Structure 1
Amino acid sequence: MVQKVQASDFYFTPNLTQDTILFQQYLSIDDHCEYNSSVLWVHRENATLSRYDSGKKFMAQLLLQDFNSTYLLAFSMDDENKRGLSFYANKPEATPEQLEGFREALECKGMDKSEIMYTDWKKDQCEPLRRQHQLERKKEPDSSPGPPAGGHSSEPPSP
């Protein structure tokens, strides 16, 4: 079953000494908010990010665009049934130029514009939870980034 994501936003908290990123995501699905938090591992040599979930490794390739405020994450590009390309901008509404850059990248990767699923920031259901997390982070005595309350960190399996 495919869930319809109406709005989505996330925050990256990089740890440059460990090449990790704390990833915090808020998804508005129907009339509720879903929150996910996990650690992403940065692989500088091939511009990929990885995450472990239930012992399984998930990879995404980071694709930068000409615009400083947008980027793409490519998933499973070798598998036509699982592939995906996500577009991210630093503001809720992308400019026409940014969207055109995304459409061009989509076409370049062999995907069709009909596969695009749009989100609508006006349908955001996560503002109360986002505000709660911000207040909790301000109260924390240690300012080092860590999973906020309600989140979880995924660790890679032991070798």
Structure 2
Amino acid sequence: MALVWAIIVLSSLPLLLAQPQDCASRLPGAIDSSTVGKLKGKWYLTASADASSSGQELISLIQAAYIFLYPNPAGNKITTRTYTTMRSTCIHNLNHLSIQRINNTTFWTERELLNLLLPLTANLEENFVLVFSPDSKQHRGLVLYGRKPTVSKEQREALQVPLNCLGLQGQEVYYTQGQDECKKQAKEDEDREKEERGTTETDKVPR
């Protein structure tokens, strides 16, 4: 299960749709090559839900998690640095992913799996939703990312729409509120990247 990230969700009438991609029509704004640049920077994993019992068990172990996103100027590739604290241990990864547009919906590809990118609100710079295994009702999972480590009342309410249209209504939603054990690693990676960027810029200067 690709998702490594409690409150019982009480939903209104189901909004089940024929395809999970149709969630895009239920949500404001859009994520495409012209707006994907707004995803740049640090995002906190604030909430997650999963249709499978194994996925639920896994995400219940998440104490803290965040991701750094670096889309390329063309908007067709994105570099990710992820930091997850589980059982008081830091797990960190670097990935280079492709961004695809299929039927007016945006995905990023990780290990040949399509993960669906959806806006949560009209302000894409504040939050977005990532859907894992969108075409599998048994293994579908959802993650909410925000610029802040906590979820606002408005975001919790807005989250009901993707939960419902993805068939995850009634599932337990897990909110990450634990101790972050990745601060040191994230700082070391950031310092190293700054040093590498500085070296690259120096190399470009005519001598």
Q: Which interval holds the TM-score relative to the shorter structure?
A: 0.7 to 0.9
For residue 93 of structure 2, what is the aligned residue in structure 1? 36
Identical positions, percent: 26
Count of paired positions: 138
Within the alignment, does 1:131 sit opposite 2:199 as a pair?
no
CA contact (8 A) 1:67 1:98 kept: no
For residue 116 of structure 2, what is the aligned residue in structure 1? 61
For residue 96 of structure 1, what is the aligned residue in structure 2? 153
For 1:113 and 1:107, how far apart are their aligned partners in 2?
A: 9
For residue 50 of structure 1, what is the aligned residue in structure 2? 109
For residue 150 of structure 1, what is the aligned residue in structure 2? none
TM-score normalised per structure 2? 0.61
Gaps of 5+ in 1: 144-159
User: Taking structure 1 as reference, are residues 125 and 139 closer, same or farther at Cα in structure 2, changes over 3 Å only?
Assistant: same
For residue 142 of structure 1, what is the aligned residue in structure 2? 200
Q: Deviations over 1:12-60 (max 9, x none)?
A: 01112371100110000111100011011011343111122xxxx1111
Q: CA deviation at 1:65?
A: 2.0
Q: CA deviation at 1:85?
A: 1.1
Gaps of 5+ in 2: 1-53, 202-207
User: Taking structure 1 as reference, are residues 135 and 103 closer, same or farther at Cα in structure 2, changes over 3 Å only?
Assistant: same
Larger radius of gyration: 2
The amino acid that maps onto 1:50 is T
For residue 8 of structure 1, what is the aligned residue in structure 2? 65
Which structure ranks higher in relative contact order (CA pairs < 8 Å, sequence separation ≥ 6)?
Answer: 2
Query: SS where residue 117 of structure 1 aligns?
Result: strand
The RMSD of aligned alpha carbons is 1.8
Which of 163, 178, 194 does residue 106 from structure 1 map onto?
163
For 2:180 and 2:170, how far apart are their aligned partners in 1?
A: 24
The amino acid that maps onto 2:189 is H
The amino acid that maps onto 1:70 is N
Q: CA deviation at 1:130?
A: 0.7
The amino acid that maps onto 1:62 is L
Deviates more, 1:26-35 or 1:104-113: 104-113
For 2:151 and 2:75, how far apart are their aligned partners in 1?
A: 32
For 1:42 and 1:108, how far apart are their aligned partners in 2?
A: 23
TM-score normalised per structure 1? 0.78
